[in-house]
Structure 1
Amino acid sequence: MKFYKYQGTGNDFVMIDDRENRFDDQDLALVSRLCDRKFGIGADGLILIRNHPKYNFEMIYFNADGSQSMCGNGARCAVAFAEFLGIIGEKTHFLAIDGDHEALIKEGLVELKMGNVSGIDQVKTDCFVNTGSPHHIRFVDQIEEYPVVEEGRKIRYDQRYSPGGTNVNFIQPISSDEIFVRTYERGVEDETLSCGTGVTAAAIAFAQDQKAATVKIKTRGGNLSVRFRRNADGTLEDIWLIGPAQQVFAGQIDL
């Protein structure tokens, strides 16, 4: 099987052109094996690009453990991959697990329109935002030294989020329009260098008192930005996740 490897701010993905529907997407053990960093290609997730009668393409996304969710950085990489395959130009309209999305490729960056968000829920002194995937958010000090994996795992498996669990984001403000975000990602069950839906949720939580905002985000894998507009009823629209997506290598693997 031919595959490609893409990364978006350190979030890495195995990409497969599956427009002929040859990949068995019910074989979750195969998905996990391909994402395994010791015995497979190694990635945070696996993405299939398929044809769709109503959209430019459909993105089928799997976490490294075979579970499925929306992935913002994965979607940005899927857009870059679709352009590489000649499926799209600078603009696209595609389908993901949480619905349809628009995206633009401008000056080397992929701008992805995320789904609307219903609002922010308070969880004691923390908060929760669903951006296509669930995200628990906690503001912390000294984020570089913070025990992200230890504390993230506790929250990820908290009874409140049973049975599916949640992703967990830790935020430290840098300035009035910039934050540092570290994420414990369910499905990977570890800290990832970046998480697209996570930084989107973090930006919304950080700027929750603003009607519209553009928030710059620093992650261990690189820099992103999120812009959005908040309605009078607290819902959020015109949410865009912006950042780089790069092909790292291509190869072939025996299944």
Structure 2
Amino acid sequence: MSSFTIRTAHADAHNQFHDFCTAASSEKYDETAILLAGNILSNHNAIDSIGICVLHKHFDIRNDEIIVRSRHYGSFLSIARKNEGAQHLKPVSWAQSPCFDEPTGLEYARLSDSDIAYPKDQLVKRILFDLARADLASFFGLVYLPWYASKTEAFEFSDDTIRASVLLGGEALEQPVKASEFAQSVFAFENREGHLKMSEQSRCSINCLNCAPSNPGAGSLNLNALSDEVIYELMISRINAKSLGY
């Protein structure tokens, strides 16, 4: 049994992150810093299963909630859910929490038998420790790549009234997106001929679908009564409606 357990995300740890509506979220890192973070992954022989994410939030969560990630037709949905069932889930993204000075799970998923590359807690802890030593832990977190990597160019949209985000390929959109409205958010790495190469896995919308102050009490929908599938379809309809100018 692991001697280290990733702490379930506490609302204070999650809610202190910037969102991409705040310019500071996308101005404090550059390619040099990203490659430095990638070298830390490589030094731990972790680049096949772990990627780097730019730390940000899409909405606030309550003290009794976690963010749960699920797969939908090759896309991913992340949504705030009550944490009663957290014991059946595993974190698929992590950060070095300034609130607790230890690694914190950010998003959770129900893993399957195919998730054989899922990293050990101690490995996550050592990588985040090295990111902190390099003064990168306030900008970057870690992701378990099978739950964040995309085979095509991928874009993430969020709506803080629904308190959900969707990562999907451009082919799922009714209109093309403007690259200038998205910022790089997740990166993977590979060694080619002795050199570490970076690849962009997804971009996050700088402007959310409903740019209002995050408020976990907002919205009239009882989201806990809705299935992930219904919320996914609702998000897709809102994304396409906005892209069409409705």
Q: Give the TM-score, by structure 1 length.
A: 0.30
The structure carrying a bigger helix percent of its residues is 2
Q: Give the TM-score, by structure 2 length.
A: 0.31
The structure carrying a bigger strand percent of its residues is 1
